[in-house]
Amino acid sequence: MSKSLFTLAAALVGVALAPAQAASLPSIHDAYGEEDHDIANCAAEVPRNDVQLASGRIVAIDPAAGRITLDYRPLPLLPEGGVRIFTVEDPASLKGLSAGDRVRFEVEREGRGFVVTRLENSN
């Protein structure tokens, strides 16, 4: 039993020291004289225009309620595709659109629903 306790203690010490050892190792970027960038900074550097927009067709628009019904292809966030009513972040973006128009859009999850955060006419 004491041998298993010793093994457990040694493993815990190894786990406790691992972050300190990893922090002291040089990164591959340091070897080439480049700066380290974390994921958050890389995501912030991508311009909004470069985001892949989803495509779909407008089925109905309710400008007073700020909602749009879209027939869309599967998306990473909504892999089933189909027809769905979305809330629109900026109801002014519905101006000039009508049923049957093809659109490109960006959607984000908000609570239990989904919100269209960007909408472009692609006719």
* Model pLDDT for residues 29-38, shown as the tens digit of each residue: 554 455 444 4
Q: What global pTM score does this model have?
A: 0.58
pLDDT score for 123:
82
Q: Which 3 state secondary structure label does DSSP give 45?
A: helix
Report pLDDT digits (tens) over 27-69: 545 544 554 444 444 444 444 555 678 999 999 999 999 999 9
Report pLDDT digits (tens) over 67-81: 999 999 998 888 988
Phi/psi of residue 26, each to 5°? Answer: -75, 145
Domains and CATH numbers, the chain: 2-45 (no CATH), 52-121 (2.40.50.320)
Among 78, 80, 46, 101, which Cα is nearest to 116's? 78
